[in-house]
Amino acid sequence: MTTLLAIDASTSACSVALMHEGQVYEDFRMLPRAHTRFLLPMVDEMLAAHSLPLAQMDALVFTAGPGCFLGVRGGRAPA
């Protein structure tokens, strides 16, 4: 099965989702102007909670817009 990690930081909300073995797990937080402080820790927490290394992801997914420029860029940078 495909394992995907999805990141969305294009709005004032920040979210990370993981699809693994047919299950979807998500972490959604309202973080206006705080994405850069929380996005990577959210990814780390998600992967650790499911004992998955980043190298095991089949694909990384991120939003390309619409949204604010910095949010879209901030979500794309870690991906």
Least confident of 34-43, 45-54, 70-79: 70-79
Q: Which residues pair with 40 in a beta bridge?
A: none
In percent, the amount of the chain with pLDDT more than 90 equals 51
- Tell me the backbone φ, ψ of residue 52, rounded to 5 degrees: -120, 130
Domains identified in the chain and CATH numbers: 4-76 (3.30.420.40)
Is residue 9 over pLDDT 90?
A: no
> What CA–CA distances, in Å, run from 30 to 16, 48, 56?
12, 22, 28
Taking the model in full, what pTM does it have?
A: 0.78
